[in-house]
Structure 1
Amino acid sequence: MTENIQNLKTLKHKRGTIKTQITLFQKFIDNFDTSNVNEKDKQNIKLRKEKIEPLYETFEEIQTEIELLELELNQDVSCEGTERESFSNAYFAIVGTANNILNPAVKEIESIVDANSIVQGHYPNSNQTSHNSHMHVKLPTITLPTFDGTFTLWREFYDAFTALIHSNNSLSDVQKLSYLKSSLKNEPVKNEPADLIRSYDTTSENYTIAWTALQKRYDNKRRIITDHVQNLLEIPKINKESHAALRQLINQTENHIQCLKSIKNRMQL
């Protein structure tokens, strides 16, 4: 009993440390003038964001251990759901803000989503309608990001889905889960992300569970690194001189190398 109590205190201390790191990152982002961010600022934000990205999974593991210990100690766990929700909201809000600063194009896409209701079944409220009436250009239609289970494409899908859907406070969790399921391709020759969450009913409480399950499966740095290296080794050789073929070779090589550098930076921080 005494050992469990001490373990519970230790876990809550670790949880508090993670929450503090998120708060510090929030304060760091708040100090930026988002209309005047230079490349040095972006690099600083990028490195800090990569450092906190693994904290979500760590928090989930610690939170689960806390709840199990509290149940074992016959303590009230009713407030733990609020802990999860509060952290999740804070985490994805600040990560979404950082992504918007780093990639203004994603922020523009979010605006397009809100302005044109391109997500099927989502309609603007009266304030949005009023705002749209002042727009002088017809914005292009975009589609939801998709993911087929290719590990090397996970981060691209994760960032896009987070910006467009996960951080969209106008959507309910039921809607988010519906869009998540629609975003997953069912490719028989690959790991099938659609099958991973197919058994989850489209309910509010299942959205976070399904989204976390996908992260645990595909945010696998070792597998992603292995696949990038394998893809590098499998780049076709140029059999005869061709500017187009040479450019394609360079682009493919630089793409995989840049992805590997990004993963390395996240692992070192």
Structure 2
Amino acid sequence: MVTELRDLKKQERNIRKTFDAIQQFLVNFDEGRHADQLVVRLQRLEVAFGKFHVVRRKIELLTDDVTDLADTKESDEERNERLESLAHARDDENTQIIMKMEDQYCVLKSALARWKNDIFGDATAAHHSITAGISRVKLPEIHLPSFSGNIKEWVTFRDTFRSLIHNNLQLTTTDRFTYLKSSLTGEALQEINSVDMSAVNYDVAWCMLEKRYENTKLKVKAHLETMKKESYDALNKLIGHFEKNLLMLDKVGENTSSWSTILVYMICLGCLYVAPLGDTS
């Protein structure tokens, strides 16, 4: 976890370097030498800004986990107060970092767009528009799985969605977000409802789902509960078969009142094979 957090912070520093490089490009801008780079610089700015929000979100989530796992000798009340104080401090820090990056992004994009429009004119600017990555073609008909938040169904949904949508290079990021929201229901949809629908936020929404449902402990718990229920039902069925057959033996005149020892042994033996016996109709 610490290694992953270190790597994410390094990615964030590299994104800041990209912003600084674009700012330096504007400082040194020469129309004769640099005009043809304006579209590329705008594209790099959009990609870097989108990646920043994803990386910052992951850093925030990992920081929460590291703090929650802190090993300290303190009472529950002291721990809750500490976590609440740290949460406020982290929120303030995240807000300041995000606001600073958004301010720099707006300044850089405005300057790049202004130079681009002044040099090439509005018609060419519209032709090269890179805002939002909106698809200009009709979305292909793809039969998607539905996911409601049942953690036992997450792996199947995740792998199918990745194959059909997430890794589909023919789709824009906005298209992927559209498909994602249309395939979620119930609890899973509520998980990302607070995320605004935009190309930048698709990765944020997908990251939130992975964070929520890529939880090994919850998966194991869900499957163990299923095993418990199935075993309980099978054992009830096993006992029911014994009781029904004992009644039938009594009806045909066989005295079963003294069979206690052998019946206890047979039921215990049956418990070892409860699944196959439980399947008997």
TM over 0.5: no
Structure 1 length as normaliser, TM-score? 0.39
Which one has a larger percent helix, Structure 1 or Structure 2? 2
